[in-house]
Amino acid sequence: MAAVLTPQGEDFPRWYQDVVAKAEMADNGPARGTMVIRPYGYAIWERMQAELDVRIKATGAENAYFPLLIPLNYFSREAEHVEGFSPELAVVTHGGGEELAEALVVRPTSETVIGEFMAKWIQSHRDLPLRLNQWANVVRWEMRPRLFLRSSEFLWQEGHTAHATREDAVRYLMTIHLDVYNDFLVNVLAAPTYLGMKTPRERFAGALNTITAEGMMKDGKALQMVTSHDLGQNFARAFEVSFQSEDGQSEYCHTTSWGASTRLVGGLIMTHGDDQGLVVPPRVAPIQVVVIPVRDDDAVAAAVARIVADLAGAGVRARADQGRGSFGRRVTDWEIKGVPLRVEVGPRDLAEGVVTLVRRDTGEKITRPIEGLASAASALLEVVQADLLAAATVRRDGATRDVASVDEALEAAQEGFARLPWAAVGEAGEDRLNAEAVTVRCLTRPDGSVPESIEETGLLAIVARSY
C-alpha cells in the first residue's frame, strides 16, 4: 500500500502538514498566517474547550467577553508590555472611510482592556478575588506562521484575575496551572509535560513570573502547551486597579493571566500522531468509535445502525460510515483522522454474532460479541486513553537526558530534551544555548514540581529546541 502521508522519519514538518491537510483539520487562509479551521479540526477544539471550560469554572472563574479593538494608548501604559508586543500588533487606522483620531489595536491579548474594567468594578476587598475568563480570538503578527502552532490569528481562552494579596494570586495561579491545565493535559490530551517557571528572558512581557507546561513532540522538540502569569502589581498600577482594604487603606490588586490556545491542536497532532496519521485520545475525540460495514448490504446496514445506536446509548460518540467508497478506503480515511476505535461489521461476523474491534493506537484487532459491545467499547476506550498517556510518558522520559554541562545539553538537544542544574547554565549559558537555537524551556524542581522562586537552590533547567 502506498504511503498516504510523508513518513515522520523522512520529513517531520512535511508529515505535520500532510496530517493537517489530509485529516481535514485546517487550511491556510487568504491573508498571511491566517487559518481556516475545518469542521473536524474545530470539533477537536470544541472538545478541548468543553474540558477546559468546566475545569476553569470549577476554580470559581466566570466567562465574560471584552472587545476585539483596543485603543493603542492602552498598550503604552505598561512599559514592558508595550515593548514586548509592539512588533506584533495589527493596528486599525481607518474606519468608515476616514482616518481614526486614535488608532485601535486588534487585541494580541487582553490584559490592558480587562485591567481598565477591573479598575471600574473593584472598589473594596469584598470585590476580590475577581476571576474572569474569556474565549476569544487574538491577532499577533508572527514572523513565521504555521497552522495551529503559530497562526496570525488564533483562538484561545484567556483568564484574568485580581486578588487582594500576592499570596492569594499565586495560590490561585497554581490551581489554574495544576488543576486546570495539567489535569487537562495529562488526563484528557494524554500529553505529559515538564512543569516549571520560565527564565526572565522567556517571561511574558510585563509579568513577574511565567509558569509553563512544556510538551515533547515526536521529533524531540518542545512545544509550550499552556502558560500562566503572575503579573504582580504591574498591570494594577498601570490601570489603577485598586481596592480599599479592611483597614481602610487603598492598595493595588495583584493580578494573574493565563491562557491555552488552538496551539494545543498542533500539540495533540505532534504528541500522538504516527505515519498513518492523527491519533486522538478518546477523551478529546469528537468521534470515538467509527462503525464500518465491510459490505454494504441491508443486513449489515441494519446491524451497523443498531450498533451505533447502542454505542450512543452508552454515551460513546459513535458514527457509521457506509455507502461510501471501498472498505479499505474508509478504513484509511478514519485512520488518518485518528479515531481511537473502529468497529468492522461484515456478513461473516454477523453469522457468528460478533464484530471486529480495531485500536487506532496499536492496530490490535479484537473479536467481540455484538451483545454487550457498547460496554466493551467504553472500557476499551479507557484502556486506550491510559495507554496513550503511558506511551507518551515513556517517550518523554526516554528522550530526556540528564547532563552536567551546557556543551552536553547542546548535544542532547539535537535529539530531545536535556536536563541539567540551572546553576550550570545561568545567563551566560543561556546565551550560548540560544545562539544554537536551543532554549531553556523551564526551570523545575528535582521532583518535577513548579518552583516558587528562581532563587531556590537545586533547580533544574529543561533545555530543548522548540516550536
Partner RNA sequence: CGGGAAGUAGCGCAGCUUGGUUAGCGCGCCUGCUUUGGGAGCAGGAGGCCGCGGGUUCGAAUCCCGCCUUCCCGACCA
- Least Cβ distance, residue 442 to RNA (angstroms): 11
Nearer to RNA, 213 or 399 (CB): 213
Binding piece for RNA, criterion CB under 7 A, among 41-49, 188-196, 221-229, 371-379: 221-229
Give how many residues touch RNA by CB under 7 A: 72
List the one residue from 7, 95, 200, 363 that touches RNA (CB under 7 A). 363
437 binds RNA (CB under 7 A): yes
Binding piece for RNA, criterion CB under 7 A, among 292-300, 312-320, 372-380, 415-423: 292-300
List the one residue from 181, 252, 417, 467 that touches RNA (CB under 7 A). 467
28 binds RNA (CB under 7 A): yes
String of b and e for 22-57 (b: at least 16 CB within 10 Å)? bbebbebbeeebbbebeebbbbbbebbbebbbebbe
Task: Select from 445, 414, 416, 418 the least CA-distant residue to 429.
Answer: 418
Strand, helix or coil for residue 356? strand
- Least Cβ distance, residue 307 to RNA (angstroms): 13
407 binds RNA (CB under 7 A): no
180 binds RNA (CB under 7 A): no
- Residues 254-283 touching RNA, rule: CB under 7 A, are 259-263, 276
- Residues 301-330 touching RNA, rule: CB under 7 A, are 325-329
331 binds RNA (CB under 7 A): yes
List the one residue from 230, 349, 361, 430 that touches RNA (CB under 7 A). 349
List the one residue from 93, 375, 414, 434 that touches RNA (CB under 7 A). 434
Beta strand pairing call for 254-261 and 153-163: antiparallel
Binding piece for RNA, criterion CB under 7 A, among 67-75, 124-132, 341-349, 411-419: 341-349
End-to-end CA distance of the chain: 32
44 binds RNA (CB under 7 A): no
358 binds RNA (CB under 7 A): yes
* Local structure of residue 38 (DSSP, 8 states): P
Sheet holding 417-421, edge to edge: 62-63, 130-139, 153-163, 254-261, 222-230, 209-216, 193-197, 439-444, 460-464, 417-421, 400-402
Binding piece for RNA, criterion CB under 7 A, among 48-56, 148-156, 411-419, 450-458: 148-156
H helices of 124-189, in order, are 166-175, 183-187
Binding piece for RNA, criterion CB under 7 A, among 9-17, 113-121, 380-388, 422-430: 9-17
- Provide CB contacts within 8 A for 12, sequence distance 6+: 218, 219
Nearer to RNA, 118 or 217 (CB): 217
Distance from C-alpha of 61 to C-alpha of 262, rounded to nearest angstrom: 21
List the one residue from 60, 347, 372, 398 that touches RNA (CB under 7 A). 347
2 binds RNA (CB under 7 A): yes
298 binds RNA (CB under 7 A): no
Nearer to RNA, 122 or 196 (CB): 196
Binding piece for RNA, criterion CB under 7 A, among 118-126, 197-205, 411-419, 444-452: 197-205
Check: CB of residue 439 under 8 Å from CB of residue 463. yes
Binding piece for RNA, criterion CB under 7 A, among 8-16, 47-55, 99-107, 184-192: 8-16
Task: Select from 316, 461, 320 the least CA-distant residue to 401.
Answer: 461
Check: CB of residue 119 under 8 Å from CB of residue 241. yes
- Residues 223-252 touching RNA, rule: CB under 7 A, are 224-227
Sign, Cα dihedral of 437, 441, 446, 447: negative
Binding piece for RNA, criterion CB under 7 A, among 11-19, 72-80, 368-376, 401-409: 11-19
- Least Cβ distance, residue 315 to RNA (angstroms): 25
- Residues 83-142 touching RNA, rule: CB under 7 A, are 84, 87-88, 140, 142
- Residues 383-402 touching RNA, rule: CB under 7 A, are none
Distance from C-alpha of 61 to C-alpha of 376, rounded to nearest angstrom: 37
Task: Select from 286, 305, 314, 329 the least CA-distant residue to 380.
Answer: 314
Distance from C-alpha of 108 to C-alpha of 89, rounded to nearest angstrom: 7
Residue 141 burial by Cβ neighbours in a 10 Å radius (0-12, 13-18, 19+): middle
199 binds RNA (CB under 7 A): no
The letter for the amino acid at 234 is N
Nearer to RNA, 125 or 396 (CB): 396
Nearer to RNA, 244 or 276 (CB): 276
The letter for the amino acid at 355 is V
Distance from C-alpha of 276 to C-alpha of 1, rounded to nearest angstrom: 12
Nearer to RNA, 88 or 402 (CB): 88
Check: CB of residue 44 under 8 Å from CB of residue 268. yes
Nearer to RNA, 244 or 322 (CB): 322
Task: Select from 184, 191, 193, 189 the least CA-distant residue to 214.
Answer: 193
